[in-house]
Structure 1
Amino acid sequence: MSETCISEQAAPVSSNTAPPSVRSVYVATAAEAVKNWQQNRANRWYKDGADPNDLTGDYAFQRLRKTWFTPKLDPKFKFRSEDKFYAIGSCFARGLEWALAKHKIAVESAAPEFARLKVAAKHKASSGLGFINKYNTFSILNELRWALDPAAVFPVKSIAQVTECTWSDPHTNPTLELAGFEETLERRRLMQKVTKRIINCRAVIITLGLVEVWRDLEADVYINSTPVPPLLQTQGDRYEFRLTSFVDNWANLEAIHALMSRYGHPDFRIVITVSPVPLMTTFSKMDVVLANTYAKSLLRSVAQEWAAAHDNVDYFPSYEIVQNSDRAAAWESDLRHVRGAGADQIMELFLQAYLR
């Protein structure tokens, strides 16, 4: 079997692990709950008589008037400056990589091999690193399995022919020009080669993005992004759209944890976060704003429960930091992409919480 495990077979797409049954995320005695309340300076939204414009106050209605929202953070663990990092997930993960690299932190996922790839003309503002974005928990799990598990093999059948001489790997982000079959396979080998570097990383950041996913019925595998338009036009019956549930995403995260426990760094730590970047468009029947609210609410909830279930997983509130900061400061004019200052604010809080 080759290093990249490419074959005609499809890897399993999710585990059979069920979500917690009747289990609370956190349980405290009455005395412990009162102690929590007494010691938590950020425990209250509002109080009669408090000055709403006192930006030094601890009440939420005061803190939310600042340009940048700064949540109270209680990290479970700390990273070391010599730790290697690996970020996987949506486009927001690329911003986190860039900010970490600025602080001279080793980021294995920001591989120079990707940066050298030539992007398509319509994506000229992006770098080759955008090629590795993973937008849903199915595609994150798939990529880790194909790279780490010797029994998991990449389903070559899912690479679809678009024109007479171009092919599409739907498990990548389509930022590169479509290429011939052999070059497409070579990009796939590169993806799996770099992903395998996660085993050297004690620090793993997972950024969750979407709950709308597509499945290749012919290859029997979930894919990373919407099939390119020519495939939907000519092979539409091959693909199926799914709006996933809490159970779907919980099972995938549990399978990721099991995979990392077996093949990852012996002392790995995962920080999970939810990308504040909204989905560009929805294939559901919902208003795109409602569809985005559903997605982010579900992912925020499953991330919290997953972190509560494992001592080596922690939730970091990237989503809340951006959503509760001043809109003009946080967002580009499209209200979709986070400004550089926003990413800097997030990473400053991340570094304070986990590295300082």
Structure 2
Amino acid sequence: MLPYEGLSARQFWKTGVQPFASDTIQEIYSPKWPIDGLRIATAGSCFAQEIAKAMRARKYNVLDVEPRPPGILDKLANEYGYGLYSARHGNIYTARHLLQLTQEALGILEISPRLYVLEKKGRHFDAFRPTVEPKGLPSAEEVVEQRYDHLSRFRSLLSQCDLFIFTLGLTEAWFHKHADIVYQIAPSRTSGTYDPDQNEFRNLRFSEIVSDMLAFRDLAKSVNPGMRFLLTVSPVPLVATAVPQHVLVSTVRSKSVLRAVAGELSESFDDIDYFPSFELLSTPFLGTGFFEENKRSVKRTGVEAVMKSFFAAHEGTEQKTTTGTATATKTVEEVVCEDALLEAFAPR
């Protein structure tokens, strides 16, 4: 018998890809283990917010260790970072940021408030999650107090969850030169000022990101040995690049590295799985109709196609064709993306 005889239809381009679009493709994802009944935590870049929202809608047990105060409406709650993820950390674009947050939460790393409390027009912000208080706080002390509370809650999240879902978003990151700490985005974009003597840009490499993710895995399992991990890669292109080259080249570089990292980890460890949301939306082979005219914003129908594949695999249901029946075509709403602020620098 020849090596390719008897393989499944999904293993051949002609039968696995050619007849399908992103919302009709069959068996693109084979979960390593069921997630039913698991206590789930979600984190990552903007697209990860959609995963949490879809899982909650399907009544999965998505944890929320920093719930909104009573009486706050959805839109205002989102603006203040409530309900976007399992903890109120805002978007975590890089693996280094996830590792740093975990090290802080577990008491391994202590960062001086002078390195993260930013001031703008008399208001104070947390540089690691600057938009969770969009108007800032009255004092630096309140920022520090809020941060300690957040770290305590994130530590409890790690101890509670059975499955940690993380969406890898970016390789480009901004660091404090001397303290070697990573910020969420360039500090000047939300609060504070950019200081070239203090801040530096780095484009993280494959080996660094793998190392960061493995260090995070080890720390998480040190407090919760049974924890599993599900990785995705955000399909959303970069708004801008700090590398002196075309943003398209930087986007492909970043997403390729992140996809390779996810593949390396999922192929190496039984407790790490990968879901191909990136492939469903960002490869031309399945159609390009799920992005807006700006070629960056994902339409609601794109999100629905991705989540349909995910739940079909986990719930054992067959993926059904919906072409021509979808009515929701607008862009994803209520997704908070700090990196979108960089668009303000684009030439007019």
Compute the TM-score of the two structures, normalised by the length of structure 2: 0.78
Does residue 95 in structure 1 map to residue 50 in structure 2? yes
3-state SS, counterpart of residue 113 of structure 1:
coil
- 1:152 is matched with 109
Given candidates 15, 40, 45, the residue that maps to 2:13 is 45
Corresponding residue for 2:35? Answer: 79
Counterpart check, 1:327 vs 2:295: no
**What's the counterpart of residue 212 of structure 2?**
252
Letter in 2 for 1:83: L
Distance in 2 (alpha carbons) for counterparts of 1:213 and 1:115: 35
Measured against aligned partners, the alpha-carbon deviations of 1:41-68 in whole angstroms (never above 9, x if no partner) come to 122224xxxxxxxxxxx2422224x655
2:23, 2:305 within 8 Å by CA — same for their partners in 1? no
Kindly provide the CA deviation profile for residues 107-142 of structure 1, in whole angstroms up to 9, marking residues without a partner as x.
Answer: 1147423898899x9x99856245511000110111
Deviation at 1:302, TM superposition (A): 0.8
Instruction: Give the AA of the match of 1:350.
Output: F
Equivalent of 2:60 in 82, 105, 117: 105
- The match for 1:128 is 81
Structure 2 matches for 1:160-175, cutoff 5 A? 160-163=117-120, 165-174=122-131
Distance 2:69 2:149 in 1: 8
| Alpha-carbon distance in 1 for matches of 2:237, 2:71 | 28
Gaps of 5+ in 1: 1-30, 47-57
User: Are the counterparts in 1 of residues 176 and 198 from structure 2 also a CA contact under 8 Å?
Assistant: yes
Paired AA for residue 273 in structure 2 = D
What CA distance in whole angstroms lies between the structure 1 residues aligned with 2:49 and 2:70? 11
In the alignment, which of 172, 175, 179 is matched to residue 215 of structure 1? 175
Query: In structure 1, what is the Cα distance between the partners aligned to 2:16 and 2:261?
Result: 27
- CA, structure 1 residues 106+277, in 2 after alignment: closer, same or farther (shift >3 Å)? same
Contact 1:215 1:239 in 2 (8 A): yes
Residues 163-195 of structure 1: CA distance to partner in whole angstroms, max 9, x if unpaired? 363333221153522323123223323432332
CA contact (8 A) 1:216 1:222 kept: yes
Partners of 1:133 and 1:115 lie apart in 2 by 23
Structure 2 Cα separation of the partners of residues 227 and 181 of structure 1: 16
Q: Let me know the Cα RMSD of the aligned residues.
A: 2.9
* d(CA) in 1 for partners of 2:142, 2:72: 12
Kindly indicate whether the alpha-carbon contact (under 8 Å) linking 1:133 and 1:173 is maintained by their aligned counterparts in 2. Answer: no
Q: Which residue is equivalent to 1:303?
A: 262
CA–CA separation in structure 1 for the residues paired with 2:186 and 2:121:
21
The answer for the alignment partner of 1:50 in structure 2 is none
Q: Matched residues in 2 for 1:245 and 1:202: separation?
A: 29
Alpha carbons 1:68, 1:326 under 8 Å: kept: no
Give 5+ residue unaligned stretches, structure 2.
317-348
| 1:200 Cα offset (Å) | 1.0
1:227-258 deviation digits (Å, cap 9, x = unpaired): 1246444x332100011110110110110111
Q: Distance in 2 between the 1:68 and 1:290 partners?
A: 29
Would you identify which runs of 4 or more consecutive aligned residues in structure 1 move more than 3 Å? Answer: 66-71, 113-119, 123-127, 229-233
Does the 8 Å contact 1:135/1:208 carry over to 2?
yes
Supply the distance in 2 between the matched residues of 1:42 and 1:351 (Cα, whole angstroms): 18
Corresponding letter in the other structure for 2:238: L
The offset of 1:69, in angstroms, is 4.3
- Whether the aligned pair in 2 keeps the contact of 1:271 and 1:314 (CA below 8 Å) is yes
Q: Residues 173, 296 of structure 1: CA spacing in aligned structure 2 closer, same or farther, 3 A cutoff?
A: farther
1:293 maps to what in 2? 252
Q: Is 2:308 the counterpart of 1:342?
A: no
Aligned to 1:4: none
What CA distance in whole angstroms lies between the structure 2 residues aligned with 1:71 and 1:226?
40
1:353 aligns with 2:310: no
1:222-241 alignment runs, 5 A limit: 222-229=182-189, 231-233=192-194, 235-241=195-201
Whether 2:156 is the aligned partner of 1:188: answer no
Q: 1:144/1:318 Cα in 2 relative to 1: closer, same or farther (>3 Å)?
A: same
Match of 2:232 among 273, 280, 293: 273
Q: Which amino acid is 1:238 matched to?
A: Q
Residues matched between the structures, number: 305
Is contact 1:87-1:204 (8 Å) kept? yes
